[in-house]
Chains A and B, each alone.
Chain A
Amino acid sequence: MPPETKAALAELYAQAKNPVYCFALSILRDSFAAEDVMQETFLQVWKSAPTYRPSGKNALTWILGITKYTALARLREGQRAGIPLEDAADKVDPRDAFRDCENRIVTQAMLAQLAQDEREIVVLHVVTGLKHREIAELLEMPLPTVLSKYHRSLKKLERLVREPS
């Protein structure tokens, strides 16, 4: 790989790895699987870079789209193992979700108590900085649904942090 390409990929990785990892974690609730999905996403970005056309979207939205499909493919592997897709992320051993989250109280509450779509919306808005409109597009959900789920999730988190069970 030419040095300038390597430097560009390293720069992109430094900027986008955390949003990609956190989004994958919000889908999968398993830090090892999220790490694999993060690597697979960047490998896919590298392979697809020659055909990338901005078309009005920011590059992070495009990368997070790859993350979403890679993570959902992971969940489907679980489905093939006999776990329904909608339940696959919730069947993960909670110890896997919290492996890197000791003393991260809000993160733990989010991973443990929010539903998968709520986790995705909260992480995409709060951690990756996507606008609600971009989240609606990425998750293929109506904008009002994204907004109501987001506000409901924040209230839920507020309650959970105040009164941990």
Chain B
Amino acid sequence: MKPEEIKTRLRDEMADLAPDRLEDLLAACDAQPQEHARAAGADAGAPPPGVEAARRSRRVRAAARRHLRLPRA
């Protein structure tokens, strides 16, 4: 058997190996819809990573400037 035949044979043999457990999966997903919706909502409203830290940093610098009466950099 040549390598090409081995590949074809293996592909055919493993083509339908996985059992179908879609109903179990859907039931498991249904068991945690709130968690998923919360994650989706949080993701939609949240800024990309790093943006909040940069905002915080800008706020701290602005407060320091006001407190020390420094000119803008």
User: Hey, which bits of chain A sit against chain B, CB under 8 A?
Assistant: 1, 6, 9-10, 13-14, 17-18, 20-22, 25, 35, 38-39, 42-43, 46-47, 49-51, 100-101, 104-107, 110, 122-123, 126-127, 154-155, 157-158, 161-162
In this assembly, does B39 line the interface, its C-beta being within 8 Å of a C-beta of chain A?
Answer: yes
A1 / chain B contacts, CB cutoff of 8 Å: 26, 29-30, 33
Give 1 or 0 for each of B1-44: 1 = CB within 8 Å of chain A CB: 11100110111011111111110111011101101100110011
Interface residues on B, range: 20 to 34
In the complex, are the beta carbons of A154 and B17 less than 8 A apart?
A: no
In the complex, are the beta carbons of B1 and A9 less than 8 A apart?
A: no
In the complex, are the beta carbons of B39 and A158 less than 8 A apart?
A: no
Closest residue of A by beta carbon distance from B20: A17
CB-contact partner of A6 in B2, B10, B26, under 8 A: B26
B13 / chain A contacts, CB cutoff of 8 Å: 101, 104-107
Closest residue of B by beta carbon distance from A35: B19
In the complex, are the beta carbons of B6 and A50 less than 8 A apart?
A: no
In the complex, are the beta carbons of B36 and A46 less than 8 A apart?
A: yes
Question: A36–B2 Cα gap in the complex (Å)?
Answer: 34
Q: How far is the CB of A19 from chain B (nearest CB, A)?
A: 8
